[in-house]
Amino acid sequence: MAAPTANGSGSPRRRVIVDVDVGTDDAWALLLLLKCERKFNFKVEAITCTHGNTDVHNATRNVVRLLGAIGRTDVPVYKGAEEPLATPILEKERYFHGVDGFGDLNFPDVADESLIRVEHAVNELYRRISTSPGEISLIFVGPLTNLALCLKMYPKVSGMIKDLYIMGGNRNGVGNVTKSAEFNFWADPEAAHVSLNTVRCPITVLPWETCITQHQSLPMNWRMEVVGNTTNRAVLMLNEVETKCYSDWDKWMPCDAFLAAVFVCPEIVEHSENFHVDIELTGRLTRGQMVLDHLKKGKDTTRIIDRIDCEKFKLLMLYSADHDVKAKL
């Protein structure tokens, strides 16, 4: 008989580790996941941090800030890779969310950084996955450096992951940091290549083009005046960050939260397609681009999410921000 679960159902509770480079959209993904645990019958077992939107030290500090703001300091946090596998760290000019990942607003810390565990994120990924093979899902919403390092250091882990969810890459060669590459894969193309070619589990990728499509239904005034109208301390903090970072935007684009919603509520997916994919590593103009095998000559190992139900996504975001949602989620 399955063990009792947090929401009282008889089905086993899903288990997940989330890897982030916080960043505002990472923060929204974490908030959605942590607020929806009980209702959707899963548990965030750990949060691992990497370089990307900011350096790994700021990313880890931002996670601790967020957890303190929502009273979830029970979730263990681990610091991981400081740099990409094979290339120098990103230039600070590339940081859309500010150098510190939270708009450089110098928030007072709301949680003790001693909550950051001493174990390295890569070792902790291996420990947790290897002690529960086939039971732990992974959600990666930043560069894939921690996963690639884990796969290289502990090759057997490739067959122990339940499933892998990634926000990154592109479906049609549309870039956001170069003409042809999405930020997370561009920030460490070698890590994306290793990860996508090594893991032996179902892979779900939500690419950049899907974010472009979805954000058209999310007006910035709805984000600020409706979602942001709350007493949730984390959301109030993000209100300030996104007021600065999105000052010239009329639409809201929480890319990582789109992926988190796919994990939380699988039926939110309206269209997806399976492909064999790989990462361009040497192209002068295309380094970091995710390339899909449209000729279908390879095994279709990766599910590409093309569209989600935006109205359901809006409800999930309102619920995550502590609004009273009457509609069925």
pLDDT for 282 equals: 95
Listing DSSP states for 254-306 in one string gives -HHHHHHHHHH-GGGEEEEEEE-EEE--S-TTTTT-EEE-TT--S---EEEEE
- Local structure of 43: helix, strand or coil: strand
55-93 pLDDT, tens digit per residue, is 999 999 999 999 999 999 999 999 999 999 998 887 765
Nearest by Cα to 67 from 119, 110, 37: 110
pLDDT above 70 coverage of the chain, percent: 95
Residues 77, 281: Cα–Cα separation, whole Å: 31
Average pLDDT over residues 200-223: 96
HSE, side-chain direction, 13 A CA sphere, residue 195: 33
Class of domain 14-320: alpha beta
Q: Where are the domains of the chain?
A: 14-320
> Is the per-residue pLDDT at 4 higher than 80?
no
Average pLDDT over residues 141-159: 98
Residue 191: CB atoms within 10 Å: 27
pLDDT for 199 equals: 98
pLDDT for 329 equals: 81
> Is the per-residue pLDDT at 201 higher than 60?
yes
Contact between 146 and 161 under an 8 Å Cβ cutoff? The reply is: no
> Is the per-residue pLDDT at 35 higher than 70?
yes
85-126 pLDDT, tens digit per residue, is 998 887 765 678 888 888 888 877 666 788 899 999 999 999
> Is the per-residue pLDDT at 2 higher than 70?
no
Contact between 292 and 185 under an 8 Å Cβ cutoff? The reply is: no
Residues 6+ apart with CB under 8 A from 204: 163, 164, 165, 166, 259, 262, 272, 302, 303, 305
pTM attached to this predicted model: 0.95
